[in-house]
Amino acid sequence: MGIEAARERDPAVNETPATPAENPAIPRSLAETAADWIVRRDGGELSPEEIRAFDAWRAEPAHRRAFERMEVLWGILDGEPAMSTEREAPRPAAENLERAPPQSALPSPRQRPHKRWAARGRSTAPRPRKHAIRTSAALAASLALVVLGTVQDWATWLQADYATAIGERKTVALEDGSTVELDSGSAIALDFSPARRGVRLLAGAAEFRVAPDRARPFTVAAAGGSATALGTVFAIRESGKHAEIVVTEHRVRVAGQGRSHVVGEGQRADFAADRLGPVEPAGSGATAWTRGRLVVVDRPLGEVVSEIARYRHGYIGVTGPAATMRVSGVYDLDHPLAAIDSIERSLGLASFRLSSRLIVLHR
């Protein structure tokens, strides 16, 4: 979306997008602490001791920036109050949640009203303080993850030659005749030369259908390791600490930890700079994401929800004992909210929701 179109939808959009230096990433610990202060403040009156502690904490410039950016996210979510597990028709999602404004555009918390979240159909009076304290940890982690997931991607997307938005899948035709299917929130950078064909998987997942060319090896780098095609179709998912490869046709030579081995058709392996896992049979649904499906067989619910969450902006998570429940099923990744609703109903769970952008399942 261009700047003009963005301005029509959000008047706060500037002529020049913020750069990483203007809008620095929030360290995880600060984001969680800032979110916790917001929840404690909006959950009830703070004691004099708590107010002094908050003022002392916020006196640090880095702490103040973190708090103000979390205030912006809180305000965006506050536009659609919802704290209910009742079923209701989908509502418009908060605009531009995925883009935290530069610090210079952030309002001071003293310049905006401190709204209270209200349960659907209940009184709008502040909820008991005990309730706020009980939910602050989950909210703090959720808000922090929403922000951290949106402000730390600058370096990735600036390096990318091709990328997809959250919820988007796209097939890219490369100059050598190979094709790459990018999963939701994925990015690659190309390094082609007369002697080699190099691709870096910067984020997410991609399936590669490699055109034969014996004179120019096709190598994908991910998580510090690499995979070199031996005339093949394969998929790689990068998870930060390591990458997983699944081969669906022919073979791939995988390198990591100073070693290498060949992964054959129907097999998988994990790899990284300091890791080269064993070759194992790949599950039948290992590349189902290319068809918009997630196939699950006896996996912890926490893992399954994390997978589904890749396909929607905001935060979707599961907390407490529910995270370890074992589930099986086939879920439609093109409709992640419907998948989450189905899980909630079928397992008899409850959910905490702040608009459609922040959902926490629990028992």
What are the tens digits of pLDDT across the range 117-132? 332 233 334 444 444 4
In the chain, residues under CATH classification 3.55.50.30 are 292-362
Q: Select from 143, 3, 28 the least CA-distant residue to 75.
A: 143
Using pLDDT thresholds of 50, 70 and 90, give the confidence band for residue 94.
very low
In words, the CATH class of domain 292-362 is: alpha beta
Q: Domain 170-281: state its class.
A: mainly beta
CA 145 to chain CA centroid, Å, is: 8
Higher per-residue pLDDT: 33 or 267: 267
List, in order, residues 6 or more apart from 88 with CB less than 8 Å away: 120
Q: Is 301 in contact with 324 (CB distance < 8 Å)?
A: yes
pLDDT band at 236; cut points 50, 70, 90: very high
Rounded Cα–Cα distance for residues 155 and 363 (Å): 38
Instruction: Please give the structure tokens belonging to residue 141.
Output: 């982690």
User: Would you state the torsion angle of the CA atoms of residues 13, 17, 19, 23, taken in this order, to the nearest 10 degrees?
Assistant: 0
Q: What is the 3-state secondary structure (H, E, C) of the chain?
A: CCHHHHHHHCCCCCCCCCCCCCCCCCCHHHHHHHHHHHHHHHCCCCCHHHHHHHHHHHCCHHHHHHHHHHHHHHHHHHCCCCCCCCCCCCCCCCCCCCCCCCHHHCCCHHHCCCCCCCCCCCCCCCCCHHHHHHHHHHHHHHHHHHHHHHHCCHHHHHHCCEECCCCCCEEEECCCCCEEEECCCCEEEEEECCCCEEEEEEEEEEEEECCCCCCCCEEEEECCEEEEECCCEEEEEECCCCEEEEEEECEEEEEECCEEEEEECCEEEEEECCEECCCEECCCCCCHHHHCEEEEEEEEHHHHHHHHHCCCCCEEEECHHHHHCEEEEEEECCCHHHHHHHHHHHHCCEEEEEHHHEEEEEC
**pLDDT reported for residue 352:** 84
Residues 172 and 159 sit within 8 Å (Cβ to Cβ): no
With bands split at pLDDT 50, 70 and 90, how would you rate the model's confidence at 113?
very low
Tell me: pLDDT of 314 over 50. yes
Dist. CA 252–CA 35, nearest whole Å: 45
Q: Report, as an integer, the average pLDDT of 37-46.
A: 72
Q: How far apart are CA 344 and CA 318, in angstroms?
A: 10
pLDDT band at 224 (very low <50, low <70, confident <90, very high): very high
* Residue limits of CATH 2.60.120.1440 in the chain: 170-281
For residue 204, the model assigns a pLDDT of: 95
**Residue pair 280/267 in contact by the 8 Å Cβ criterion:** yes
Determine the Cα–Cα distance for residues 111 and 291; give it in Å rounded to an integer: 48
Least confident of 14-28, 51-65, 109-123: 109-123
Return d(Cα 146, Cα 203) in angstroms, integer.
17
